[in-house]
Chain A
């Protein structure tokens, strides 16, 4: 079974703190993605990576950065957390060879910034 794990299920941080969200997949997938999910807005892509040390901006990258030093790990960084970054964050991975690029999701991290 494909497994995508995220470092925390729930996280509470203060405004201005630096926040690290970690994602690890165990299926040797090339592609990894970070989304945030908000009511009424669906999943919105923050950043993605198709290879180690490679990163691309998604639809809403402002206020975020990412790091991919190893194939299995993709980290999302909030340099200075703000209250409008309170959200559910979902990591996903996919293989280049699977038909259509089905994505497998982690359980999510619910981040609250106070």
Chain B
């Protein structure tokens, strides 16, 4: 089975930076996804990491260390609209299923 851990809640101020950590213990690990989910809406894709290192996409960056079983999502220049849940999910080799963490609710304050 999969064991995926991420903090439950985080709060940050508009314009600041927040880092959401995700640790996993997965046999046959293939890659890691980050999704964003606003309240009452569907999750939407943010990033996918399969190799070690940092992937930057505008204000959002995602990092993966396969040897440490660790990833983070970095949100820079926070805006009020970034208030949402952020879901970490892993895939395993030869499989299309995603295993999700419980999600991190980020609240951005003015």
Residues of A within 8 A of B (CB): 4, 31, 33, 40-45, 48, 50, 58, 90, 94, 96, 99-108
Contacts and interface: CB of A to CB of B under 8 A. Distances in A.
A6 to B, nearest CB: 9
Interface string B73-84: 000000000000
Contacts of A31: 96
Contacts of B70: none
A105 B44 contact: yes
A106 B42 CA distance: 6
Given A90-B42, A100-B30, A106-B42, A43 B100 contact: yes
A103 B34 CA distance: 11
Nearest to B103: A42
Contacts of B45: 102-104
Contact of A102 (B8, B33, B42, B102): B33
Given A31-B96, A96-B96, A99-B48, A107 B101 contact: no
A42 B42 contact: no
A33 B42 CA distance: 14
B98 A101 contact: yes
Contacts, number: 55
B87 A107 contact: no
Nearest to A91: B42
B91 interface: yes
A108 B31 CA distance: 25
Contacts of B101: 42
Interface in B15-51: 30-31, 33, 40-45, 48, 50
A45 B71 CA distance: 22
Given A42-B102, A103-B45, 16 more contacts: A4-B42, A40-B102, A42-B87, A42-B100, A42-B101, A43-B87, A43-B89, A45-B98, A58-B97, A90-B42, A90-B43, A100-B31, A101-B91, A102-B45, A105-B43, A106-B42
B47 to A, nearest CB: 10
B97 A107 contact: no
A101 B102 contact: no
